Amino acid sequence: MPRIVLISLAVILAIAVIVGLSATYTVSERESALVLRLGNPVAVINEPGDEEPGLHFKIPFVDDVLHFDKRNVEFNMAPAEILAADQERLVVDAFLRYRIVNPLRVYQTVRDERGLQQRLSAIMDDSLRGVIASIPSSEVISGQRAQVMNRIQLAVEAQVATQDIGIQVIDVRILRADLPQQITDRVFERMRSERQQEAALIRAQGEERARQIRAEADREAVVILANARAEAERIRGEGDGRRTAIFAESYGQDPDFFAFYRSMLAYDLALRDNTPIIISPDSEFFRYFQNQAGAPN
Amino acid sequence: MPWNDNAGGGGGPWGSGGGGRRGNNNNQNPWGQGPGGGRRGSGNGQGGGEPDLEQFIAQLQARIRRMFGGGGGKGSGGPGLGLIAAGIFFVWLAWPGSAWYVVGPQQAGVVLRFGEYVRTTGAGLQFKLPVPFETVMLPEVTTTNEVAVGATPQESLMLTRDENIVEIDFVVQWRVDLTYPEGVRDFLFNVRDPQGTVKAVAESAMREVVGTTELQPIITAGRTDVARRARQIIQDTLANYNSGIQVLEVQLREASAPASVIDAFRDVDAARQDAERAALQATAHANQVIPEARGDAVRLLEESRGYRERVIAEAEGQASRFNQIYTEYRLAPDVTRRRIFLETMEQVLGRSELIILDQQSGSGAVPYLPLDQLGRDRSPARTQTGSASRTGER
């Protein structure tokens, strides 16, 4: 008898534990839970705005609890080649961050996270193409990237709202917006030739500057010398002028004597040694040569 | 068959169990039967199928009876049951992480009650309700984490505003944001995969910044500015996610022209050096030519001044000489005039090769003069010095 009591006690205990365990469930801070009663949704626990994480109870074996991540989750789209408004191809790699805010809608529309991501992939692809097709590639790459991301986010949000899939789009960011490989190669080629051009220009400018410096220096030197020569001539002229004045003053006292005196000086200076001179005995020099009286012959 | 023989003999790989079970199994496929028999054999040790199981259950029942028997029937087993319950309870409480936990200096202790956040505790030994009720998370909150972006060309090559491509390799340092009270909570509960989030946001932000900047500043003086702007965007975005992540620093490890065009960029630098050198050489030339010209100018001026002084002095000298002669001449003009004439003639004719021709006596025939021989022994040097000294004597 006690043995049977014991066994039934153990069994009851085990059943109690099993039932107890299946009558409770816990909901973590980072998730929310959807309770289905025989497939019929009856409650959503710990939704955003209705925080109730912790221990909860349900009807064992009747209620089914599905957990959904409540955190900010990244969905990264595979890189896609997209035509921009100027017909340039861009490889765009974008990601989206979302949060499940309505687990019931998620369950109803896409069932689970995998289904959700498939749906998001389609929405993202569509929105990206739609927005980028209306913008020139340069705007996507550079200029207004923040604005472009904003527009894509609005497009995604609009679709999410229409389809009502129970998520909140937190952010859409373009990770990469690059040119396809063969265009990248062309960019490299262009960069290289731009640099070559730049280098040639810099060298030419250096040469130009060098020549300019040389030319200016040479000119300055020439000017310095020319000015010096002019000044030198003026100074020489001063000397010559003074000389002429001195002579004029001095010789002007007796031009006749000056003519004689200067002629004598000139003969002496001009006629060098052994200059052959043919002279007549009748000349003034020989006045007394044959006649001591000195009568002119 | 050797295989069958081995199995039958009990020394085969399947152990003695296979042999000990039943003889008529010998002709069966060893693959099918061997393992099963072996397992059963080794589980028991003594061999035999059904009886063994029964015996085992009986033993188990006996053991259970010994445990619970006191409580259920006679009460004599009370101390045994209590002891075991106490043991289980003790292990439950004493088990690390169950009712107590140790928080390291770099950690925070975040206690959850059935998954619900209850409190955050600091470093040291801490207590909580044992395991099914409360669990603890011990995130490292003071540790600086690093995310590197730019390891592959796909990550590192970025387009600039002027449609060039720059190679960027950078590191983002981040940690849990402790500047506001809920930082740790946000970090644990709001974002899935923080490290991946930081990386994706960082790459996106850096491309955004690079896309609005021209190539030249990025690879030269604008590096720190690029890093600073990227840091700001990353921080703002992560704050927008309520991620509880604080970006400490964004360090640009590399920001340069891509490897395939770097030579051309280096050549531009070389060109700058060349240009600089050409200009310096020209300046050196200028520095030589202009002072030389100035020196020449001074020399010219001094020469001309010298000329002026010399000419004036000479003129004054000659004038003075003339004046003095003239003064004396006026006292006896005729004599002086004649004297000067004669003295000069004396000088001149004295050093000349004189040929006296009487025109009247020689009127009959024209005399022959060998003109080419007349000047033969003349020497210019002698003539000059001679004349100079002679004029000076007067």
B145-258: CATH topology = Tetrahydropterin Synthase; Chain A (3.30.479)
Partners of residue B335 in chain A, C-beta under 8 Å:
none
Which is more confidently placed, B95 or B272? B272
Residues 220 through 259 of chain B touching chain A, CB cutoff 8 Å: 237, 240-243, 257-258
Domain, as residue range, for A246: 239-289
Partners of residue B81 in chain A, C-beta under 8 Å:
none
Partners of residue A239 in chain B, C-beta under 8 Å:
307-312
Q: Would you put residue A180 in left (φ > 0), alpha (ψ -120 to 50) or beta? A: beta
Q: Which of B204, B281, B330 sits opposite A210 (nearest CB)?
A: B281
- Kindly state whether A259 is in contact with chain B, defined as any CB-CB distance less than 8 angstroms: no
Partners of residue B230 in chain A, C-beta under 8 Å:
none
Number of neighbours of residue A224 by Cβ within 10 angstroms: 21
Which is more confidently placed, B49 or B263? B263
pLDDT of residue A119: 93
Contact B297 A143 (CB under 8 A): no
CA-CA distances (angstroms) from residue B313 to A236, A239, A246, B118, B391? Answer: 13, 9, 10, 119, 19
Task: Using pLDDT thresholds of 50, 70 and 90, give the confidence band for residue A282.
Answer: confident
**A150 lies in some domain:** yes
Task: Using pLDDT thresholds of 50, 70 and 90, give the confidence band for residue B89.
Answer: confident
pLDDT of residue A37: 92
- Kindly state whether A196 is in contact with chain B, defined as any CB-CB distance less than 8 angstroms: yes
Q: For B362, which DSSP code?
A: G
Task: Using pLDDT thresholds of 50, 70 and 90, give the confidence band for residue A294.
Answer: low
CA-CA distances (angstroms) from residue B123 to A186, B107, B113, B140? Answer: 58, 7, 20, 11
**A47 lies in some domain:** yes
Of A169, A184, A199, the last residue of a domain is A184
Write the pLDDT tens digit of every residue in B219-251: 888 899 999 999 999 999 999 999 999 999 999
**A30 lies in some domain:** yes
Residue that is written with structure tokens 């085992």 in the block: B56
**A197 lies in some domain:** no
Lowest mean pLDDT segment, chosen from A27-36, A161-170, B146-155, B372-381: B372-381
Write the pLDDT tens digit of every residue in B245-255: 999 999 999 89
Q: Which of B207, B347, B379 sits opposite A176 (nearest CB)?
A: B207
Residues A56 and A89 in one domain: no
Contact A225 B115 (CB under 8 A): no
Q: Which neighbouring-strand residues pair with B66? A: none
Residues A9 and A95 in one domain: no
- Euclidean distance between the first and the last CA atom of chain A, given in angstroms as a whole number: 203
Our count of domains for chain A comes to: 3
Residues 98 through 137 of chain A touching chain B, CB cutoff 8 Å: none
Could you write out the DSSP letters of every residue in B168-198?
EEEEEEEEE--SSTTHHHHHHHTBS-HHHHH
**A168 lies in some domain:** yes
Question: Which chain B residue is nearest to residue A46, measuring alpha carbons?
Answer: B116
Of A69, A93, A114, the last residue of a domain is A69
ipTM over 0.85: no
Task: Using pLDDT thresholds of 50, 70 and 90, give the confidence band for residue A295.
Answer: low
Residue that is written with structure tokens 């006896």 in the block: B332
Contact B322 A272 (CB under 8 A): no
Residues A95 and A50 in one domain: no
Say whether A51 sits in a helix, a strand or coil.
Answer: coil
Residues A84 and A142 in one domain: yes
Smallest CA-to-CA distance from B241 within B281, B283, B205, B212 is with B205
- CA atoms of A188 and B265, how far apart (whole Å): 12
Find the CATH number of the domain harbouring A158.
3.30.479.30
- Which tokens belong to B41? 């054999």
pLDDT of residue B305: 93
Question: Which amino acid, one-letter code, is at A154?
Answer: L
- Virtual torsion, Cα B171, B177, B178, B183, nearest 10 deg: -160
pLDDT of residue A211: 94
**A154 lies in some domain:** yes
For chains A and B, CB pairs below 8 A equal: 366
CA-CA distances (angstroms) from residue B387 to A237, A263, A285, B353, B378? Answer: 29, 15, 20, 15, 13
Write down the domain spans for chain B: 100-137, 145-258, 277-344
Of A17, A38, A69, the last residue of a domain is A69
Q: Which neighbouring-strand residues pair with A34? A: A44, A66
**A219 lies in some domain:** no
Contact B301 A231 (CB under 8 A): yes
Q: Is B224 exposed, middle or buried (0-12, 13-18, 19+ CB in 10 A)?
A: exposed
pLDDT of residue A104: 92
Task: Using pLDDT thresholds of 50, 70 and 90, give the confidence band for residue B67.
Answer: low
Question: Which chain B residue is nearest to residue A254, measuring alpha carbons?
Answer: B326
Question: Which chain B residue is nearest to residue A146, measuring alpha carbons?
Answer: B208
Q: Which of A143, A225, A268 sits opposite B297 (nearest CB)?
A: A225
Residues A154 and A77 in one domain: yes
Write the pLDDT tens digit of every residue in B275-311: 999 999 999 999 999 999 999 999 999 999 999 999 9
Question: Which chain B residue is nearest to residue A258, measuring alpha carbons?
Answer: B322
- Kindly state whether A264 is in contact with chain B, defined as any CB-CB distance less than 8 angstroms: yes
Averaged pLDDT, A70-82: 90
Residues 26 through 55 of chain A touching chain B, CB cutoff 8 Å: 26-30, 53-55
- CA atoms of B386 and B394, how far apart (whole Å): 13
- Kindly state whether A275 is in contact with chain B, defined as any CB-CB distance less than 8 angstroms: yes
- CA atoms of B172 and B209, how far apart (whole Å): 15
**A246 lies in some domain:** yes
Residues A171 and A270 in one domain: no
